[in-house]
Structures are given as structure tokens and as C-alpha cells.
Amino acid sequence: MEDIGHFIGGKRVAGTSGRSQDVMQPMDGTVRGKVALASAAEVRQAVENAKAVQPEWAATNPQRRVRVLMKFLELVHKEYDSLAELLAREHGKTIPDAKGDIQRGLEVVEVCIGAPHMMKGEYTEGAGRGIDVYSMRQPLGVVAGITPFNFPAMIPLWKIAPALACGNAYVLKPSERDPSVPMRIAELFLDAGLPAGVLNVVNGDKVAVDAILDDPDIKAVGFVGSTPIAQYIYGRATASGKRAQCFGGAKNHLIVMPDADMDQTVDALIGAGYGSAGERCMAVSVAVPVGKETADRLVEKLIPRVESLKVGPSTDASADFGPLVTKEALERVKGYVDLGVKEGAKLLVDGRGFTMQGYEDGYYMGGCLFDEVTPDMRIYKEEIFGPVLSVVRANTYEEALKLPNDHEYGNGVAIFTRDGDAARDFAARVEVGMVGVNVPIPVPIAYYTFGGWKASGFGDLNQHGPDAFRFYTKTKTVTSRWPSGVKDGAEFVIPTMR
């Protein structure tokens, strides 16, 4: 059984707080190890290490900084299989899904190799008589990230890569549920040539989170998790003068128009609704068929597909999805299914009684399918974060469009149709941050930005893409004049370009 401490100053260190937590293996319910929970003093130690080395890292030219990212990519690819297995065992997702987790993180690292171009400023010669104006992007200093359990490789890399490319030092607080992959990522960055102390990892709970939020030397914080915690972190971080980008919960709808290819739509709903046991912020949890005939056809095709989903241990590459991350998560999702039945929704497929032979202590649940869910039900309003799909019937396109527009969350949404006019109208009018047209999980590619609207996102700048370089830098603008004989005398009014 492994004891997992922290990664501070370029090496693994044991925790000193005296507090720890079990790291579980969801597929069989066994304890894999213990992870230390950092004290405020340990967080401060990581910040001090980062602060001491950040100026030299910032003074390293951008092209040399991104060479470290390039070497990191090479090293990760050599360990791809072992990293995916490690991730799957601690999280519960299947190994193929774990590889996708890693790959989507690496794609952001690849884009960050373009940092020398992204960080270029602007220049205007002759803005006034003998005056030139130019701008430059400079790193913030020490920045931090608080990342969730459901993507222990992807989301840390979404944050670490642009922050480092811009010349910042980084303190990561990953989820204490699956900390091993973030720790290994830090070691691989060191092996790739990152100076010791530029990237630090502190494992912990709310004590570590609050220490990060209150530390005066941390200039920016990024977070992904539930909406209540996103609101808390955004409020506390900004109150202490930090930049913050905080992403919360979701309730992603997929609108099914009468002309949609029904087989393609059902394939999309099965993959997007039940993949990774529904533990994705971009999972489709609500299907909205337009018209009774569309709804009846959709439900008729969904039932046998949900019933035949293959649930298996994380090491079974043929499984559609694995266990949930913890016993508490399993009981929470089952509780939502109980609630849906009590609220009057029609439970067409019930996965609550699923058990896995030989893995009876694992956190497994079969797929669940509800029909006749209405917007007043809690199973519609709240994020379930499990393998549960709800069908909400709409009579018209306008009624279907109103559902995601009126919902508290605004992370992702999709429409399936053959009608270009309907798709174009939907993309223009829907009040959601990421939109798919015949694409069920519209996670933007790495050189665009990722972020939701409404209660799904707090802060002005999104993750990865151009927004990441804006978030992790500050702009300095210089107005310059070299005298060379220009003698205007004293000026007592604000300078203008007249």
C-alpha cells in the first residue's frame, strides 16, 4: 500500500500534517494507498518554492520554455499505457477512456508549444510625433489550480501547460480521490527539464484549498468541480485580489428533431450519456425529443441499448463503462434514481441492482433510463453525475429550445437534425457556452476555448485556447519617445495624439 505525499521543490515529500485519506480502487473497493492531506504550512512551503524559482523561469525565453513541453510530450508517450492503467485503477473509468483523458490533456500541451507566437505583443510606430507605443505580455508569477477527480490527467494539463508556457510557476491541488497521475505528471515535467520548484503538487482537502485562496503570493486560481464550490472559490479568490476562472456543474441537453437520423442519435446518446459512468461535466443527461412520434421512436430504440450496456472492471477494455469513483458517489446516484421514481418519472431501465461477479465490493451501477421527466423535478434540475439519462418530451422546437435556455446550467448542449436552418437558428439562440450540431459532446478542440455559461462558469476567461494565454499573463503597454531634438516644452494637460 503506497503512501502518497506531495511534490514540492522537485521531489516527493512525505506529508507532515498528520492527516491522510484512503485512496480506493473503485472496481473492487480495496484500498490502494493513503494520500496525505496538506496543512496550510505545507501549501505555503510549495508557494515559497514556486516563488523563489519563478523569476528565472520567466526570464527563460519562450521558445526554450516550450522545449520542456515538447520533451514532456515525448516522455508521456513512452508511459502512455502505464499512466492509463494507473488512472483507470484510481478513478474507475476503463483504460480506453483513461487514454482519452490523457490524450485530450496532451492536445492542449501541443497547442501551448505555440506560446512564443501567442505571447507576442503589439507595436505602433509613430503613434504621435516621435512616439512609439508597444505592448508586452508578462507572466503573473505564482498561479494555482484546484482540479477534480473525473479527469485527473486532462484538466491538470489544461491548466499547467499554458501557465508554464507563459512563464509562471504553478501549485496544483488535485483531487485527493485519484492523486497518483498528477504526481507522476509533475515528475515527468521535471524529467523533461523543468526547473525544480516551478511545478509543485500539494494533496489535500478544504484546508489546502483555503490556504491557496488566501495566500497573497498566488496571483490566479483555476478550478473545475461542482457549482457551489466553484462559487465559493470564485468569491474567496477574487475577494483576495486574485484572478479566478471557476467551472461548475452541468445539465447538458440533446435536442432530437423529427428529421434526425434516429440510429445515429441513439448511438450518440448511449456514448455521451453513459460513457465514464456519466461522470463527465459534458455528459448528456437530458434527451429532448420534439413531438410524440419522435419521442416514442427514440425511447423504443434506447431501451434495448441501455439494457445491453456492458459494465465491467476498469481493466476490461471491452466494457462500456466501469464503476463510479466512490461508494458515496454510488449511493448518491442511486438516491437520485429513487427520487425520480418518487417524483413520478417513468423508470424504463433500472440499473440500481447491478452487481459484478467477482467484484461485489466495487462501486458498480447499471445504466438507468427515465421517460416523462418534467422540468419541475429535481432529477431534471440537479446534476446527477452518474449513468442516468432522462427523456423530457417537447411538443415543438420552441419548447425544446426553451429547456436549456431556462436551465440554471449552461455548459454544453447539442441538436441532432438534418435541417441546416434549424441547426443554425439553434446555435445562434441557445444560451449555452458550448454547442454541438450532430455532435453529442461538443468539447472544443484544444486551440479553441472551453467554458460554460450561467451557473456552469464564473470568470471572464475560459480554459485552453487563446483565453488561457490571456488568463496567465498581464499586459503592459509602453509609450516611448526618444527626444532627438523634439522640444515641446512642459505640458499640463493629458497627452493626446492631436
| Whole-angstrom distance, CA of residue 436 vs CA of residue 270 | 16
Q: What angle do CA 165, 463, 11 make, to 5 degrees?
A: 50
Q: What angle do CA 156, 224, 429 make, to 5 degrees?
A: 120
Q: How far apart (Å, rounded) are the C-alpha atoms in residues 265 and 414?
A: 11
Alpha helices in 149-226 (DSSP H): 154-165, 180-191, 206-214
Q: Report whether 362 contacts 356 (CB < 8 A).
A: yes
Count the neighbouring beta carbons within 10 Å of the beta carbon of residue 59: 8
Block residue for cell numbers 516527493: 12
Q: In the annotation, is 368 catalytic? A: no
C-alpha to C-alpha distance for 435 and 414, rounded to whole angstroms: 6
DSSP 375-403: TTSHHHHS---SSEEEE--BSSHHHHHHH
Please list the residues that pair with 453 across neighbouring strands. Answer: 410
Q: Select from 11, 19, 14 the least CA-distant residue to 2.
A: 14
Reported in sequence order, the residue ranges of 19-152 that DSSP labels E, i.e. its strands, are 20-25, 30-36, 123-128, 131-139, 142-146
What values do phi and psi take at 10, rounded to 5? 90, 10
Count of C-beta atoms within a 10 Å radius of residue 246:
24
**Angstrom distance (rounded) from CA 488 to CA 486:** 6
CA 90/CA 178 separation, integer angstroms: 5
Measure the CA–CA gap between 4 and 20, rounded to whole angstroms: 9
Alpha-carbon dihedral angle through residues 279, 280, 282, 284, given to the nearest 10 degrees = -20
Point out the catalytic residue in the list 166, 246, 281, 368: 281
Containing H/E element for 330?
A: helix 327-343
Any idea which residue has 447539442 for its cell? 414
C-alpha cell, 106: 496532451
Q: b/e for 292-311, b at 16 or more Cβ within 10 A? A: eebbebbbebbeebbeebeb
Catalytic residue list = 281
